[in-house]
Amino acid sequence: MADEVILLDFWTSPFGKRVMIALREKGVEFDTREEDLSNKSPLLLKMNPVHKQIPVLIHNGKPICESLVIVQYIDETWGPESPLLPSDPYERARARFWADYVDKKIYWAARSAWVLTGEAQEAANKEFIESLKVLEGELGDKAYFGGERFGYVDVSLIPFSTCFHALETLGNYSIVEECPKVVAWVKQCMQRESVAKSLPDQHKLYDHFVARKKEHQAQ
Amino acid sequence: MAEEVILLDFWPSLFGMRARVALREKGVEFDMREEDLSNKSPLLLNMNPVHKKIPVLIHNGKPVCESLIMVQYIDETWGPESPLLPSDPHERARAKFWADYVDKKIYPALRTTVGEAEETAKKEYIECLKVLEGELGDKDYFGGERFGYVDVSLIPFYSWFYTLETLANFSIREECPKLVAWAKRCLQRESVAKSLPDQYKLNDFILSSRRSISLNK
């Protein structure tokens, strides 16, 4: 029986892009369905009744939710010859720790930096840069977070690179100056087809965020 | 070489309790070191420089941080004959989803309810517990017949039930009877009974530090 793999997503979501990249790394054929988040589909509400959020991966009719849980599922289900997580338990725990760090720190700082104003926004910008520097420290001189192979932590972080242009424009700073190794790592990741095909154009994303922000302010 | 397993912990920590339960489920001998969170040890700061929080598991000198990551590490390292996570990828994903739900929903709702004891927070907490009760259904444990990952992630919250019921004036047994029955079933396990603090002692602690609840993960 052929696998049926559906991804419920929204084009700007960095979490959805994690899933896309993981599926493409494993060479899995899938069908992306773009959700209208102001009018969620019956399928989304049925497949993720608890959180009602994208992304949701539907594999042969069964849903998997929460992006990092989905990426681990993809890793366990397909392409055992090209694992995203290392095999050693300690290295796996380390990879999971850093992906969790991206969720706890990078996402919230980036979001706050975008939506807040004044002093609160400055604090969020500072937090974002500090968090990125911690990641730069962890990356060091390695090609990827796990060493020589593209893996779990890279998948968890790379989608946020599409926000860099928006954040540095709004916050008036330069990410390449603050975190040159992270920027070099981004360029390296973008050479992978799985990443280049999955991430939206950062200028298109910036225009979208600006338009949304204006709408929000007008309300 | 004998294994050295140290757990840096703080006795009321819900997250530390998860690690204690998991280690005991696997029969791992460990040395629990109580941290003074107002005066963190050099070892803690060295082993968890990023978050500076407990619990931290130190296995033969190498640190593992973040309670759910720790529980998965414990599961992968010891006692393969008694796994906490299922072997089927979809069931594993399901277990991880529900443990994540506890972290995302139950913990923040708990903190708000205890911190402010106001009606909306209490309502949210009860709603979240009911979602979990729905997921448990008539099963013995969240994964079915065997005590496992989701049970480990949630059972520490039972030690807070007495405090919540008293502070926010409601009966968890009335709202979520299956969950209470499940908790009592878990408490019959030595790993759980030994790892959860006495709820009255915990109640005294929570009340005395209510204004500055900062239970580190």
ipTM rounded to 2 decimals: 0.95
Confidence band (pLDDT; 50, 70, 90) for A82?
Answer: very high
Residue A134 clears pLDDT 90, i.e. is over it: yes
Interatomic CA distance for residues B49 and B70, integer angstroms: 16
HSE at residue B69, side-chain half, CA atoms within 13 A, is 23
Report yes or no: A188 at the B interface, CB cutoff 8 Å. no
Residue A101 clears pLDDT 80, i.e. is over it: yes
Q: What is the pTM of this model?
A: 0.95
Nearest CA in chain A to B65: A97
Query: Which parts of chain B register pLDDT below 70?
Result: 1, 117, 211-217
Report yes or no: B89 at the A interface, CB cutoff 8 Å. yes
Closest CA to A77 of A62, A95, A92: A62
Q: b or e along B115-137 (b: 16 or more beta carbons within 10 Å of the residue's beta carbon)? A: eeeeeebbebbbebbebbbebbe
Report yes or no: A102 at the B interface, CB cutoff 8 Å. no
Task: Determine what percent of chain A is predicted with pLDDT higher than 70.
Answer: 100
Nearest chain B CA: its distance from A104 CA (Å): 11
Do residues B136 and B179 lie in contact, with contact meaning Cβ atoms separated by under 8 Å?
Answer: yes
pLDDT tens by residue, B150-172: 999 999 999 999 988 888 888 99
Output the six-digit token pair for B184. Answer: 């009592």
Cβ distance of A93 and B70 shorter than 8 Å: yes
Output the six-digit token pair for A173. Answer: 């700073």
Residue A218 clears pLDDT 90, i.e. is over it: no
Report yes or no: A62 at the B interface, CB cutoff 8 Å. yes
Do residues A145 and A139 lie in contact, with contact meaning Cβ atoms separated by under 8 Å?
Answer: yes
Q: Is the C-alpha dihedral spanning A63, A69, A71, A73 positive or negative? A: negative
Say how many CB pairs under 8 Å bridge A and B: 53
Least CB–CB distance from B50: residue in A66, A73, A134: A134
At residue B212, the pLDDT reads: 58
